Amino acid sequence: MKEKFIALLKQHFVVIFVTISGLIASVILANSIKYKYKSYENITVTGLASKDFESDQIVWRATFSEEGENMSEAYTALKMDADRVKQYLLKAGLKESEIEFSSVSTTKNEADILNKDGEKIGTKFTGYSLSQSVTVNSSRLDLVAGISRSITELIQEDIDIYSESPSYYYNGLSTLKVDLLAEAAKDARNRAKTIASNGGGSLGAIKRCTMGVFQITGSSSNEGYSYSGAFNTTDRYKTASITVHIEYGVD
């Protein structure tokens, strides 16, 4: 009788243990499923903002050069050219503070010596080539752009001058970037709210936020997207754009 009672007690203990173990396993499984489900209750969106603007600074450079059999001769000729270039720019309406001349660059010229069969057997010194650049930095865009096109008139005065295309910049770029970031973040939030509401939820707090690419492109150009971020300096009229990637929780 005692042995039957003990056996019966053991059977009940096993049943109770299995039942409790099952309940615990169910709770753990339910919590893990819930956690896994909640871990995916996030929305990641990309916000975009852009703005057209006009440059307010122009930088233009021109280079002129002279050659001579000796250094002194070439330098004297180059100095005369620099004076004439400066006078031309001042007469065109520029201020001295807007004009800057670089140091003089010097190159030794050599010519090949050939034998009767046309083979090179050495070189000989033929003189010096000297060059100098003038850079104009101004906020008067129309004036400098006009000078960059007209200065080649000095070629008619025997000045060997090469005019580069102007570069255009914007001094308020840092402020513009901050404003665009705010607009891009607002755009991202609107997108996320739409997704959340259409899914039957409400938008929660920001989980993570990263800034995307900031780009400056020409307003009338067909510049492509650059992963490193384009920075256009050739166009006077530009478009700035920026993206932000934001991950929101969902309540």
Q: Pick the more confident residue, 24 or 110.
A: 110
Question: E strands of the chain, at which residues?
Answer: 42-54, 57-68, 99-101, 105-114, 120-138, 160-163, 167-169, 203-218, 237-250
Find the CATH number of the domain harbouring 87.
Answer: 3.30.70.2970
* Residue-wise DSSP of 195-207: HHHHTT--EEEEE
| Contact predicate 212/243, CB 8 Å | yes
In this structure, the answer to whether residues 183 and 246 fall within a common structural domain is yes
In this structure, the answer to whether residues 108 and 179 fall within a common structural domain is no
Structural domain including 165 reads 57-169
In this structure, the answer to whether residues 238 and 175 fall within a common structural domain is yes
17 assigned to some structural domain: no
pLDDT, the chain, mean: 85
Find the CATH number of the domain harbouring 196.
Answer: 3.30.110.170
137-154: pLDDT as tens digits = 999 999 999 999 999 999
Q: Select, from the ranges 82-96, 207-221, 222-236, the one with the highest average predicted confidence (pLDDT).
A: 82-96
Q: Pick the more confident residue, 130 or 118.
A: 130
Distance CA 211, CA 200 (A): 28
Q: How many CB atoms lie within 10 A of CB 30?
A: 10
| Contact predicate 158/65, CB 8 Å | no
The answer, yes or no, to whether residue 71 has pLDDT greater than 80, is yes
7 assigned to some structural domain: no
Distance of CA 31 to the CA centre of its chain: 47
In this structure, the answer to whether residues 162 and 61 fall within a common structural domain is yes
Query: Band of the pLDDT at 118, cuts 50, 70, 90?
Result: confident
pTM score of the predicted model: 0.77
When pLDDT is averaged across residues 28-39 and rounded to a whole number, the result is 44
19 assigned to some structural domain: no
160 assigned to some structural domain: yes
Q: State the DSSP code for 221.
A: S
The confidence score (pLDDT) of residue 59 equals 98
In this structure, the answer to whether residues 63 and 162 fall within a common structural domain is yes
4 assigned to some structural domain: no
In this structure, the answer to whether residues 77 and 43 fall within a common structural domain is no
Domain end among 114, 143, 169: 169
Q: What element of type H or E holds 234?
A: none
In this structure, the answer to whether residues 153 and 88 fall within a common structural domain is yes
Domain end among 142, 169, 196: 169
The confidence score (pLDDT) of residue 33 equals 40
The confidence score (pLDDT) of residue 218 equals 93
The answer, yes or no, to whether residue 17 has pLDDT greater than 50, is no
In this structure, the answer to whether residues 61 and 119 fall within a common structural domain is yes
Query: Band of the pLDDT at 176, cuts 50, 70, 90?
Result: very high
12 assigned to some structural domain: no
In this structure, the answer to whether residues 63 and 160 fall within a common structural domain is yes
1 assigned to some structural domain: no
127 assigned to some structural domain: yes
Domain end among 169, 195, 226: 169
Distance CA 16, CA 24 (A): 12
184-219: pLDDT as tens digits = 999 999 999 998 888 788 888 999 999 998 999 998
Based on the structure, what is the number of domains in the chain? 2
